[in-house]
Amino acid sequence: MKKLKTMFSALALCAGMTAFAHAAPETIKFSHVVAENTPKGQMALKFRDLVAERIGDKYVVEVYPNSQLFGDGKEMEALLLGDVHFIAPSLSKFSKYTKKLQVYDLPFLFKDMEAVDRFQQSEAGQQLLESVKSKGLIGLGYLHNGLKQLSANDPLHVPGDADGKKFRIMSSDVLAAQFEAVDAVPLKKPFSEVFTLLQTRAIDGQENTWSNIYSKKFFEVQPYITESNHGVLDYMVTTSTEFWMTMPDEDRAVLKKALAEAVAHGNAIANEKSMKDRQKILESGRSKIITLSDDERQQWVEVMRPVWGEFQDEIGEDIIQAAVASNQ
Ligand code: LMR
């Protein structure tokens, strides 16, 4: 009898272990290329924490910042292959999948981040989240970083100052055209390579937001930053149709809500982060911040603005008009 009891307890233990093994939470990987102390970095961590709190018995979110898992040349393919489940690339990096998102790269399109936000929340902006659907990707929402500044080895006051200089850009033809418009040489390079390219002087400059310039220490190797606010760097939080649609409905609803809250958190801190990082760069004394006069700024606008016409057909005139209207 005692033997039988022991056998039953052993069986029960095995069954329990099997049930436990089945119940192990599924890993969700969130990969991105920036530092943790940025709006995107903070958003991803918030998402991880909310998931742990609300549905941690079923899912655990692992966040891989700083291109640790995939750099920006590879993260979309990795998403489609199921090697990662969430990414939030810059809107400038989707041109292989849709030309419509190029609207966000048009120079001097948005007067400030409030205008960007209005456009993103408009019908046209919301429809753009669907523009990658046919490629197996789902845009779950926009996340702000901020407006871009121009950094360089030499001071940039007027467009002629950029003549012949090499600038790193994200993988966007609009950004290439924007630098060609000022007779500069654009080079499409992954974010993870920018610091070294600048440090070794293989390139002369780059464009980015205050939080990226600060967190990746670009300001330590770029003596001048022109506060040009000439374009926007925002993100689309993206998953794959295959991952998202095969998940149980009730779990998807919990993740969707957690993500929306995490994005709202990232958006709420983006502007303040931007201003604080600008201040830290200023106080470091490593980089001089150049403020453009109205006349100087107008010169950049006049030279870069014709780029819009080159991409009007690919993007769609209606989308450009909707973006322009968001400035009012
Ligand atoms: C860049 O490549 O400069 C940015 O898109 C990086 C990022 O994700 O903010």
Atom of ligand 1 nearest to the CA of 38: 9
User: C-alpha 288: how far from its chain's center?
Assistant: 26
Mutate to test the pocket of ligand 1, among 92, 233, 273 (most ligand atoms within 8 A of CB): 233
Of 17, 271, 239, 45, the residue nearest 129 (C-alpha): 239
- Helix/strand/coil percent split, the chain, to 5: 50, 20, 30
Q: Is residue 169 part of a domain?
A: yes
Please identify, by atom number, the ligand 1 atom nearest to the C-alpha of residue 194: 3
90 CA distance to ligand 1 middle (Å)? 6
For 55-98, write each residue's pLDDT tens digit.
999 999 999 999 999 998 899 999 999 999 999 999 999 999 99
Residue 287 within a domain: yes
Rounded Cα–Cα distance for residues 68 and 66 (Å)? 5
In a domain, 114, yes or no: yes
Number of domains in the chain: 1
Helix (H, G, I), strand (E, B) or coil at 125: helix
Nearest Cα residue to atom 1 of ligand 1: 191
Task: Please identify which residue in the block is written with the tokens 């095969």.
Answer: 246
Q: Which domain CATH number covers 32? A: 3.40.190.170
Residue 206 CA to ligand 1 center (angstroms) comes to 11
Gap between the Cα atoms of 296 and 311, Å rounded: 25
Q: Look at residues 256, 274, 239 and name the one whose alpha carbon lies nearest to residue 47.
A: 256
Q: What is the 163 CA–ligand 1 centroid distance (Å)?
A: 24
CA-nearest residue, atom 5 of ligand 1: 90
Per-residue pLDDT averaged across 251-279, rounded? Answer: 97
* Residue 217 included in any domain: yes
| Whole-number pLDDT of residue 24 | 87
The predicted model gives 168-184 an average pLDDT of 98
pLDDT tens sequence across 202-228: 999 999 999 999 999 999 999 999 999
Residue type (1 letter), 2: K
**Ligand 1 centre and the CA of 240: distance in Å?**
20
Residue type, 125: G
Whether residue 16 is contained in a domain is answered as no
Asked if residues 252 and 172 have their Cβ atoms less than 8 Å apart, the reply is: no
Q: How far is the CA of 9 from the centre of ligand 1 (A)?
A: 56
The torsion region of residue 164 among left (phi > 0), alpha (psi -120 to 50) and beta comes to left
What is the structure's pLDDT at 72? 87
Q: Is residue 5 assigned to a domain?
A: no
Ligand 1 centroid – CA 8 distance (Å): 58
* Poorest-pLDDT segment among 2-16, 105-119, 150-164: 2-16
Domain coverage including residue 96: 26-325
Nearest to 166 by CA among 194, 146, 143: 194
Enter the pTM of the model.
0.92
In a domain, 8, yes or no: no
Residue from 31, 32, 33 whose mutation best tests the ligand 1 pocket (most atoms within 8 A of CB): 33
- For residue 187, report the distance from its CA to the centre of ligand 1, in Å: 14
Whether 64 is covered by a domain: the verdict is yes
pLDDT at position 22 is 55
Q: Taking 90 as the threshold, does the pLDDT of residue 286 lie above it?
A: yes
Pocket of ligand 1 (CB under 6 A): 33-34, 72, 90, 145, 170, 191, 208, 212, 233
